[in-house]
C-alpha cells in the first residue's frame, strides 16, 4: 500500500451516472411541504412554505446556472406564489437547457414540469398542448401520472384531458 497524498473517494460522493430524474438540484423540504399543503387546499400554509423554499431554489441556480432541474423547481415555486411570468420563464428555461432532442430520458421531465407550471398559473390550453405532446413521446407523461397527480385536478373536466386518459 502506497502512502502519500492520495485520498479515498468519499462514501457520500456518487460516482455513477444519475438515474432518470435524479439531479444535483437540492429539493427543499419546504417545497415538498408546500406541494402537500397545496394539494390539501391549505393555501396560506402552502404560500408560506413556497416563500421559504424560494430563496433556497434561487441560490441553487446561482450555484449551478446550467442545471435545468433548478429552473424547473424555481418555476414550480414561482407558480405556487402566483409569480406567473417568472414561473413560465423559469419552466421554459429548464426545457431550453435540456430539451428532449438532447436528452430523451430527462428532457421529457422538464416539458412535464412546464405543463405543471402552466396548469398552476391557469394556462389550461397551453398545459394541455404540452401534455398531449408529452403523451406521444417515449419518456413522456403516463396515464397513471395524469390520473393520480393532484397537479392535474384543474384539467380533469377538460375534454382534451379526458381524451388523454382514454387514449390507448
Residue 1 pLDDT: 43
Dihedral sign from CA coordinates of 124, 129, 145, 139 = negative
Return per-residue pLDDT of the chain as tens, 168 residues.
Answer: 444 444 444 343 334 444 444 556 789 999 999 999 999 999 999 999 999 999 999 999 999 999 999 999 999 999 999 999 999 999 999 999 999 999 988 999 999 999 999 999 999 999 999 999 999 998 899 999 999 999 999 999 999 999 999 987
Per-residue exposure over 23-35, b if at least 16 CB sit within 10 Å of its own CB, e if not: bebbebebbebbb
In the numeric block, the cell 394541455 is attached to: 128
Residue 70 pLDDT: 96
Amino acid at each position: 500500500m502506497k502512502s502519500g497524498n492520495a485520498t479515498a473517494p468519499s462514501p457520500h460522493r456518487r460516482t455513477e451516472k444519475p438515474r432518470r430524474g435524479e439531479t444535483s438540484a437540492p429539493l427543499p423540504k419546504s417545497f415538498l411541504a408546500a406541494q402537500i399543503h397545496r394539494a390539501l387546499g391549505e393555501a396560506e400554509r402552502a404560500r408560506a412554505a413556497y416563500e421559504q423554499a424560494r430563496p433556497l431554489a434561487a441560490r441553487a441556480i446561482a450555484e449551478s446556472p446550467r442545471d435545468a432541474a433548478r429552473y424547473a423547481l424555481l418555476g414550480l415555486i414561482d407558480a405556487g406564489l402566483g409569480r406567473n411570468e417568472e414561473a413560465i420563464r423559469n419552466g421554459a428555461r429548464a426545457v431550453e437547457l435540456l430539451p428532449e432532442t438532447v436528452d430523451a430520458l430527462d428532457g421529457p421531465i422538464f416539458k412535464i414540469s412546464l405543463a405543471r407550471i402552466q396548469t398552476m398559473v391557469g394556462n389550461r390550453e397551453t398545459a394541455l398542448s404540452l401534455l398531449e405532446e408529452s403523451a406521444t413521446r417515449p419518456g413522456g407523461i403516463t396515464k397513471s401520472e395524469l390520473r393520480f397527480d393532484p397537479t392535474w385536478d384543474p384539467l380533469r373536466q377538460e375534454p382534451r384531458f379526458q381524451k388523454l386518459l382514454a387514449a390507448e
